[in-house]
């Protein structure tokens, strides 16, 4: 698997796994999402893990990291303007090897199945990257969580 910088929303396709910097941890972490469809040159319909109402993404990440416990979150579908992130070179699309991922229809079905239940967010074991990779491949993995675990163990 590799990643590439997205230079236009029109490059994205249904079922793509993308990421951008989060506001949490001074942008050192990336927020991952699944593309449902491209609406315009800047607006994309996404399915992604978000903080529940009354919480922001920083508190979601920080409370999950500090406690080591699950934090209530939810999976949402909606239109997101990523134009500024694209113009800054901050949106990545993840490219999976042929046969290394599910069909776009299956990816969207997996993602939409998350809309129906509470998401128990944990920065190390069940974060937005785990969700996006599970939607795409059927496997719960997070490269940024693995890096964080290694850094914390040093």
Task: Give the model's pLDDT for residue 8.
Answer: 95
Task: Give the model's pLDDT for residue 9.
Answer: 96
3-class DSSP state of 28: coil
CA 136 to CA 104: how far, in whole Å?
Answer: 8
Task: Give the model's pLDDT for residue 52.
Answer: 61
Task: Give the model's pLDDT for residue 64.
Answer: 43
Hey, where are the domains in the chain? 2-153
Task: Give the model's pLDDT for residue 60.
Answer: 43
Q: Taking the model in full, what pTM does it have?
A: 0.85
Task: Give the model's pLDDT for residue 29.
Answer: 80
Task: Give the model's pLDDT for residue 148.
Answer: 67
Task: Give the model's pLDDT for residue 117.
Answer: 85
Residue by residue, DSSP assigns 72-98 as EEEEEEEEEE-HHHHHTT--EEEEPPT
CA atoms within 13 A on the CB side of 46: 24
Task: Give the model's pLDDT for residue 54.
Answer: 46
For the chain, residues with pLDDT lower than 50 are 54-67
Task: Give the model's pLDDT for residue 66.
Answer: 45
Task: Give the model's pLDDT for residue 47.
Answer: 98
Task: Give the model's pLDDT for residue 105.
Answer: 97
Task: Give the model's pLDDT for residue 18.
Answer: 98
């Amino acid at each position: 698997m590799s990643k590439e910088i997205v230079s236009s929303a029109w490059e994205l396709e249904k079922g793509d796994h993308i990421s951008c910097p989060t506001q949490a941890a001074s942008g050192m972490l990336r927020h991952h999402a699944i593309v449902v469809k491209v609406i315009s040159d800047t607006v994309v319909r996404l399915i992604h893990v978000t903080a529940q109402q009354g919480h922001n993404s920083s508190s979601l990440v920080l409370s999950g990291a500090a406690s080591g416990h699950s934090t209530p979150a939810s999976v949402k579908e909606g239109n997101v303007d990523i134009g500024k992130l694209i113009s800054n070179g901050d949106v990545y699309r993840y490219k999976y090897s042929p046969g290394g991922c599910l069909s776009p229809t299956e990816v969207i079905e997996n993602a939409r199945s998350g809309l129906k239940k509470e998401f128990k967010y944990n920065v190390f074991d069940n974060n937005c990257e785990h969700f996006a990779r599970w939607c795409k491949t059927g496997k719960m993995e997070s490269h940024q969580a693995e890096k964080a675990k290694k850094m914390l163990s040093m």
